[in-house]
Amino acid sequence: MKTKLCNLFTLLVIFCVNLGFSQNQKITGTVTSASDGMPLTGVNVVVKGTQAGAVTDFDGNFSLNNVAANSTLTFSYVGFKTLEVAINSKTSLSITLEEDTSQLEEIVIVGYGTQKKENLTGSISTVKLDNEQNRPIASASQALAGQAAGVTVTQNSGNPGGDGATIRIRGIGTLGNSAPLVLIDGIRGNLNNVNVADIETITVLKDAASAAIYGARAANGVILVTTKTGEKGKLTVNYDGYTGIQKPTRLTEYVTNSVEFMELHNLAKFNEDPASTPEFSTDVINEFRNGSDPYLYPNTNWQDVMYRDAQITAHNLSVRGGNDKTTYSFSLGYLDQEGIILGTNTKQYTVRLNLDTQVSDKFNYSVKLSGRRDDVRQPIAGAGTVIGWIERATPMQSPRLEDGSYAFPWVGFPNATHALAGALEGKNNNAWDNLLANLSGEYELFDGLKIKGTVGVNTLHNLHKVFRPQIDLVNPKTGAVTDLGVSGNPLSAWNGYNTERTITFLTTLNYNKTIAESHNITALAGFSQEKFKRHYLAASKDGLPSNALQEISAGADDPTASGFSVDYGLQSFFGRINYDYKGKYLLEANVRYDGSSNFGPGNKWGVFPSFSAGWNISNEAFMDNVDFINRLKLRASYGELGNQDIAPNQYSSIYSLGRTYSYGGSLVGGAAQTSLPNPDVTWETSAQTNFGLDATLLNGKLDLVVDYYLKDTEDILRPINISSVVGGLAPPTVNLASVRNKGFEFLANYDDTIGDEFEYGISFNFTTIDNEVTKLPTPQIGGISRIIEGSPINEFYTIKMLGIFQNQAEIDAHGAQPDARPGDIKFEDLDNSGDIGDGDRQAAGSSIPDFTYGFSLGASYKGFDFSMLWQGVEGVKAITEHENKPFFNGAGIPKFWAENSWTPENPSTQYPRLVRSSNYVNNIWRNSTFLLQDASFLRLKNVQLGYSLPSKVLEKMKISQLRVYVNASNPITITKYRGLDPEKDLFGGRGSYSNVQVYSLGLNISL
């Protein structure tokens, strides 16, 4: 009986399997274009709900095996509408795909509106931030690095709350503020105040044709931020989160052995004067060598004490959806970021609501509300000071004694600092609250004519609270107590409160008309008004009773108070007209008439026009048979932009209150003029010319963009140098100089599919920058740089190092440094004066790169996805930290110096002998090219590997997406620069906060 049952079961299984296979079949077919009937090569054919698929061959043919009779096939191709076809037991299919005009006519955000990409005549870069919320970046400005041609992004610091990047568009075009104008959903704001998870796209307007509609403040380029909105259909809930560890990109290694430190210090003093008494006696050195008490005889590594692997965690939650009338997007964000330096951290809280409602066929309105809170904690003396203290600390000083008190060094230098106490004690907290409200409504007056009104309010509140504690440093040998100074009197409190409000009113009229199906006209006219107000108040008190009471009201001594207000405004009229003939010939003209309260009567108003033209060559009949070119366009533009970014009211005399006078034998309060006015100060103007080419090749797989730009900025606003005989008044701002920037931009994007499931994309951008000051009446010479006609802005200007003197004969032959000794730096006597001085300074390199570049790679296969982004900078110099004065005022010494400095036994040709006296001008204490290094670099900004669960699993879990990923930021930097980080303040020395590497694990979930 059992045998019969087994046989019956086996037959049943075989029958079911055969039945399953009998329901599967081979499907063949051909895919053609609906417009011309031509076969389409490279169409993706996928069995819906599975990973099975194929790609059409050169003749448009495809073949699929083992396809269930009730399956549905999905056909997708770039530039064509996706089509789903039910098989219904068919074995042969003939498929026709229609062109997708929404793809062919890609919409691009422009000033006060949108345009079809194929009709653009200006130079615009758009960066889609689809997955940037998965990168561990605290400031949205960092997201642009390496992603757009003509845009240079530099992150100077990894300090939490102060790690926003510097953005420059097509170089530095002025001697003042070169930051671009940032508009968030049309209202002026700060890019770093937007949660990167809320951003849909960032559009960069680079030339005058695209930016002239913004006239004032657009001379440095414009950045348009578009936040995410809801879509009609099903409610979607998204969670994106990650947690990770931050590490310094690089740290300077210091000598941490106390005996070695003391011996090197004695050597440096001997090098200055062989007859001098050693700083550290043999007895003291031997006491440290033989001592075992870690509190009396430490070998402190202050890097290990003060730096940490810091945690960063982010959570972002969004709810989006809508119906035929209303769409909505609501999001919450949270970021908790520790700093790699003790005593530094920030917490961010963000909320955003975007609500769009179509009330009727003619009227719609939009409400966009966003809020952000930042709580930033910094050391009482500032992070830069603490980092300087780390670099100055000696290994002979213990961080703490056995009882937990902070240690004072019993041997060494009496002016010792204490980085640990400076980082952990006291209070230096900054709380920032930002609210941006944007209400707009649009009404169609009649067919083709719409009027739109917008009101925007951007408010910022900042409360800065400082408490300076009493910090005792204890000598471990004597028990004596010394106070640690922390930038003010101990047991004192200071509060500062700042509030800012910008109100924007904007009205536009938009008109669209097509005549005879060939002539397309779009016109825009508008008016805007912007009012800015700032109020600042500060107060302080000394004499707080103890470290436990930190509020200002607890103070009893020396109360102070101060405050001021600032307000200014802008009023503008603007217009734009676009014309195209059959999409072939494109013309655009813009004009803006701006009035600024920063300028006086007769100079308040400026006119900023622009003109551009384009030719869509690919729309010509003679291009019909050129199959490999899908799109080809030439562009040209010219325009003028304005800049009024100076302190208000400089055209009139400014009097400062709070000044005291002697009157009747007593001091009484009054006012005094503190600056010289310039009633003729007026607009800074930038004239820009651009020539460009756009091309799409190989069935939309390859996109190319090439631009040449020329930007001349004239009447640059800059304070002038004045004689001290005017009584110490601040100099006036005048229209002083001119600067030229020119260069090329290149962008290439390639996207393709290999086989059925492997997709990949490659992007590369490259920008050259040629910067020159073309007019400057009086050269401006700094300590190690200059601004002069014919050279780049802030060109390094210093004495040239020729090498290292190896013997006395070389010193005698040189003749210009008679006091030098073997091992000192040999400087060039450029003016042949017989000595070394300011006359020997010469051009020593640029602080503006010759070119920047970036490239990215993305790929996906069967649920796995991979991406990486590289950023490069070439042809730039920077001041180093490694070479910055070892033993300076009792400071520490980097290992680099200990291992590479000149000695008779190690006759280095690059690094001089050790000295420590600041008046020793034949060594590193004189500014020279020795302090400069090539700061070019190539950095892997981000690399990420992710995996998404397959749809079958998601269906069982009843969710739309579940993706996990690992991510690394800044893991690799290739550079010759030996300082802390090449992506830094190029003129900064000690006290720089290192950039960070971040290694994180993240999760994306969609319901």
Q: Predicted confidence band at 16 (pLDDT cuts at 50, 70, 90)?
A: very low
Instruction: Kindly tell me the burial class for residue 518, based on how many C-beta atoms sit within 10 Å of its own C-beta (0-12, 13-18, 19 or more).
Output: exposed
d(CA 58, CA 128) in angstroms, rounded, equals 32
3-state secondary structure of 242: strand
- Report the pLDDT averaged over residues 42-46: 83
In the chain the domains, ranked by start, together with CATH numbers, are: 21-102 (2.60.40.1120), 106-235 (2.170.130.10), 306-646+681-800+846-884+924-1006 (2.40.170.20)
The structure tokens listed for 555 are 């103070």
pLDDT computed for residue 914 by the predictor: 92
The structure tokens listed for 812 are 């005698």
| DSSP assignment string, 328-362 | EEEEEEEEEEE-SBTT-EEEEEEEEEEEEEE-SSS
Q: What percent of the chain has pLDDT over 90?
A: 60
pLDDT computed for residue 226 by the predictor: 92
pLDDT tens-digit readout, 575-624: 999 999 999 999 999 999 999 998 999 999 999 999 999 999 999 999 98
Cα 584 to its chain centre, rounded Å, is 38
CB distance 713 to 671 below 8 Å = no
Q: Give whichever of 412-426, 598-612, 916-930, 979-993 has the largest mean pLDDT.
A: 598-612
pLDDT tens-digit readout, 640-672: 998 888 888 888 887 777 777 777 777 787 888
Q: Predicted confidence band at 852 (pLDDT cuts at 50, 70, 90)?
A: very high
d(CA 611, CA 170) in angstroms, rounded, equals 20
The structure tokens listed for 947 are 């995996």
CA angle 90, 94, 95 (to 5 degrees): 115
pLDDT computed for residue 644 by the predictor: 87
Cα 103 to its chain centre, rounded Å, is 30
Question: Minimal CA–CA distance to 206: which of 117, 111, 119, 122?
Answer: 122
Residue 117 contacts by C-beta under 8 Å, 6 or more apart in sequence?
105, 106, 107, 108
Question: Minimal CA–CA distance to 473: which of 426, 414, 544?
Answer: 414
d(CA 152, CA 165) in angstroms, rounded, equals 10
* Confidence check: pLDDT of 537 > 70: yes
pLDDT computed for residue 90 by the predictor: 85
| DSSP assignment string, 390-424 | HHH--TTS-SB-TTSPEEPPSSS-TT---HHHHHH
d(CA 609, CA 574) in angstroms, rounded, equals 9
Q: How many residues would you count in the chain? A: 1007
* Confidence check: pLDDT of 446 > 80: yes
d(CA 61, CA 40) in angstroms, rounded, equals 9
Q: Give whichever of 244-248, 649-653, 916-920 has the largest mean pLDDT.
A: 244-248
pLDDT tens-digit readout, 267-289: 999 998 899 999 999 999 999 99
Q: How many CB atoms lie within 10 A of CB 608?
A: 28
Q: Predicted confidence band at 12 (pLDDT cuts at 50, 70, 90)?
A: very low
Residue 265 contacts by C-beta under 8 Å, 6 or more apart in sequence?
279, 280, 887, 893, 916
Residue 967 contacts by C-beta under 8 Å, 6 or more apart in sequence?
134, 135, 136, 242, 244, 942, 943, 944, 998, 999, 1000, 1001, 1002
* Confidence check: pLDDT of 21 > 50: no
Q: Quick one: how many helices (H) and strands (E) in the chain?
A: 11, 52
CB distance 799 to 840 below 8 Å = yes
Q: Predicted confidence band at 9 (pLDDT cuts at 50, 70, 90)?
A: very low
Mean pLDDT over the full length of the chain: 89
Residue 724 contacts by C-beta under 8 Å, 6 or more apart in sequence?
none
- Report the pLDDT averaged over residues 969-998: 87
- Report the pLDDT averaged over residues 842-858: 95
- Report the pLDDT averaged over residues 218-227: 90
pLDDT tens-digit readout, 684-699: 999 999 999 999 999 8
Dihedral angle at the C-alpha atoms of 467, 372, 331, 165, nearest 10 degrees? -100
Lowest mean pLDDT among 90-94, 234-238, 916-920: 916-920
pLDDT tens-digit readout, 770-800: 999 999 998 999 889 999 999 999 999 999 9
pLDDT computed for residue 22 by the predictor: 37
Cα 992 to its chain centre, rounded Å, is 17
CB distance 886 to 913 below 8 Å = no
Lowest mean pLDDT among 218-232, 241-255, 403-417: 403-417
Instruction: Kindly tell me the burial class for residue 65, based on how many C-beta atoms sit within 10 Å of its own C-beta (0-12, 13-18, 19 or more).
Output: exposed
pLDDT computed for residue 974 by the predictor: 96
- Report the pLDDT averaged over residues 505-518: 94
pLDDT computed for residue 743 by the predictor: 96
pTM for this predicted structure: 0.86
* Confidence check: pLDDT of 2 > 50: no
pLDDT computed for residue 450 by the predictor: 95
- Report the pLDDT averaged over residues 331-357: 96
Q: Predicted confidence band at 873 (pLDDT cuts at 50, 70, 90)?
A: very high
Which helix or strand (DSSP H or E) is residue 15 part of?
helix 2-23
pLDDT computed for residue 5 by the predictor: 39
d(CA 796, CA 783) in angstroms, rounded, equals 9
Dihedral sign of CA atoms 597, 599, 605, 608 in order: negative
pLDDT computed for residue 985 by the predictor: 82
